[in-house]
Amino acid sequence: MASFEGILRNFRFMAVQTTKQLESTRRLLGAPDPRLVDAIRKSDDYIDTQKSMIENECFRFIRGNPQADERVVDTVRALSIITANLERIADLSVNIARQTQYLGDPALLASFNYGAYFESLFESVALIAEALQQRDSSLALRICHAEHVTDRLYRADFQEVIAALRTSREPERLITVLFILHYLERMGDSLLNVGEAVLFAVLGERLKVHQYRMLDQAVAATAENEPSLDKMELGSIWGTRSGVRVGTVGPTQEADSLRKVLFKEGRPDKLQAEKESLQRWSQVAPGLVPAVVEFEQREAGAALLLQYLDGATFQEIILNGDPKPARQAQDCLAETLNRLWSATRKPEPVNGQYIRQLAVRIDDVYRMHPWFRRGGGCIGNRSIPAFQKLLEQAAELDTTLNAPFSVLIHGDFNLDNIIYNRDANSLHFVDVYRSCDMDYVQDISVFLVSCFRLPVFVRNVRRNIEDVACRFLAFARRFARDAGDETFEARLALGLIRSFATSTRFELNRVFARAMHERAVWLLTRLLSHRGRPWTDFRVSDSVLVY
């Protein structure tokens, strides 16, 4: 069985050999020698063997030590990544060695100060073992810096080579110089991967260096005496469909004066929009959404730190299978929404444009389930036109069925965006970056379909899901009746059509996806057949929420 100490020992041998490879490559560029080219090739073979051996040892260690300390396992995983990138640096040295046969006089290359590349590379490689051993994020960032240095050097050298090519009588030699410098620049890219792997060993989560810097700055801005993430622990990090990374940051035992926060990292425009939405919600409904702790933005990305909220998501509560906490949470939700919608109600009519929203996403639906595009079919004895044809026919309804008023909606009212704290009987909304003044039916339909699309088929849990959906619909109907909303049911059908159809693009189970698609088709045909009659007579059957 592979030991952690054995992996480290072999890694140190490989790091030393990589440094030797770089030294040989630098000497070769100063004084081309076929014997040195051969030595570089042989050294590459040794490094390839070391890389394969270490990689196998890492896999054996992880597989054979299921109870190993998590930090040790993270370090072993990082070592596997680092060795792969050191081996890549050795390969690039061989590529450079091959180019020297086309170089001719090395004085041409020397005019581009290739030594500056090597100085940065040597410095970074020399830091790897210490950075891993000390679990030092500052050393990891210094390793990453090689990529910035080599990029900057190559940018300047590239422009100089291009300019020289316009008047050169020996363009082949200049192109050879460009190839060599490009390989040196790619070594910097490999060291960026190395530095990020060290950061992973330190933090236990995979972060790009710009993500680390954004998060580090945001965390530092929240504390007076704790300057960096070294004093914090990162919780689970997961990605969202919008491309935002979400996780938690909490204090270590040595820094328990700091508070636990939720962090988001991603595109500046999305996080800026969420920050502005959170600030609006805090004014309209204080305490309903997490407070903004800190916001840091750079050109490459942004980090948003939010108040950490205790509690469970609606999805977790429902899937628990116990109807009592689900009903308690739902009573709290109904009271919260009734208060929120009443407080933010504006008398101007608004159109939800549900069919248009669906049209924007329909290509993604067809990519996942191309058979939905096919023409026609039957529901019972009734012939059904192609789905696309039905959507075209419903476009007129989409533009004429207006809500008589608008309210502030969540905009992405899925079960996992609602948090309930049972002890405090309090409710919170998260991920409100799509919030706007809109038809409240949008939030209702999204909530209902997010219940239906839970891929759970255990009977008692499924009944709990359906009970939550039907009780929520009953609440929504009471609100609509009290508000004098006469087209509520028709717009609800449009919203359900949109949500049922678009949800299929995230469902691989063909049978379950078809169940959602057929509900969208059925609602579409019912709406279209009701045209010309009063919409006050239209009603969505509760059966569409039952699987």
* Amino acid residing at 45: D
Q: Looking at the structure, do residues 227 and 172 belong to the same domain, yes or no?
A: no
The CA–CA distances, whole Å, from 450 to 65, 337, 388, 439, 513 equal: 39, 17, 23, 18, 13
Note the pLDDT of residue 531.
Answer: 92
Q: Which residue shows structure tokens 């502005």?
A: 276
| Residue type (1 letter), 364 | D
Distance in angstroms (rounded) separating the CA atoms of residues 515 and 453: 10
Same domain (yes/no): 474, 383:
yes
CB distance 353 to 398 below 8 Å: yes
145 and 13 part of one domain = yes
Q: Where is the domain boundary, 269, 291, 307? A: 307
> Does 264 share its domain with 369?
no
Position 249 scores a pLDDT of 74
Domain boundary residue, one of 204, 237, 272 = 204
User: Measuring CA to CA, which residue among 442, 447, 453, 444 is closest to residue 508?
Assistant: 453
Extract the tokens encoding 21. 């490879």
CATH assignment at residue 143: 1.20.58.220
* Contact predicate 293/305, CB 8 Å: yes
Report the candidate in 223, 428, 422, 414 with the shortest Cα–Cα distance to residue 328: 422
Q: Are residues 129 and 77 in the same domain?
A: yes
pLDDT value at position 161?
94
Q: Are residues 200 and 223 in the same domain?
A: no
pLDDT in tens, 318-364: 998 788 899 999 999 999 999 999 999 999 999 999 999 999 999 99
Long-range pairs of 137-141 with CB within 8 A, sequence gap ≥ 24: 137/198, 137/199, 137/202, 137/203, 137/212, 137/216, 137/228, 137/229, 137/230, 139/198, 140/195, 140/196, 140/198, 140/199, 140/202, 141/195, 141/199, 141/209, 141/212, 141/213
Distance, CA of 354 to CA of 285 (rounded, Å):
27
Decide: 435 and 277 in contact? Cβ < 8 Å.
yes
What is the per-residue pLDDT for 228? 58
Co-location of 124 and 258 in the same domain: no
d(CA 535, CA 519): 20
Q: What number of other Cβ atoms are within 10 A of residue 493's Cβ?
A: 29
* Residue 216, pLDDT score: 74
Supply the pLDDT for residue 382.
61
Kindly report the CATH number assigned to the domain that includes residue 437.
Answer: 3.90.1200.10
Q: Burial of 441 by CB count in 10 Å (0-12 exposed, 13-18 middle, 19+ buried)? A: buried
The Cβ of residue 56 has, within 10 Å, a number of other Cβ atoms equal to 12
pLDDT score for 240: 55
Chain mean position to CA 280: 25
How many domains does the structure of the chain reveal? 3
Kindly state whether residues 285 and 431 are assigned to the same domain. no
394 with 452, same domain: the answer is yes
Domain boundary among 204, 220, 244: 204
The residue range of the domain holding 261 is 210-307
pLDDT at 126: 94
Asked if residue 277 lies in contact with residue 432, where contact means CB atoms within 8 angstroms, the answer is yes
Q: Is 420 helix (H, G, I), strand (E, B) or coil?
A: strand
pTM, two decimals, is: 0.76
Residues 416 and 437 in one domain: yes
Residues of the chain with confidence (pLDDT) below 50: 227, 255, 257
Are 404 and 331 contained in the same domain?
yes
Q: What is the CATH number of the domain that holds 282?
A: 3.30.200.20
Strand ranges, E, within 321-430:
377-379, 382-384, 407-409, 418-421, 426-429
- Going by C-beta distance under 8 Å and a sequence separation of 6 or more, which residues neighbour residue 274? 264, 304, 431, 432, 433
Question: Does 521 lie in the same domain as 442?
Answer: yes
Q: Are 306 and 399 in contact (CB under 8 A)?
A: no
Residue pair 288/435 in contact by the 8 Å Cβ criterion: no
pLDDT at position 248 is: 77
Per-residue model confidence as pLDDT tens digits over 28-63? 999 988 999 999 999 999 999 999 999 999 999 998
The predicted structure's pLDDT at residue 210: 76
Separation between Cα atoms, residue 335 and residue 462, nearest integer Å:
25
pLDDT in tens, 437-474: 999 999 999 999 999 999 999 998 999 999 999 999 99
HEC letters along 153-181: HHHHHHHHHHHHHCCCCCHHHHHHHHHHH
**Closest to 191 measured CA to CA, from 243, 255, 122:** 122
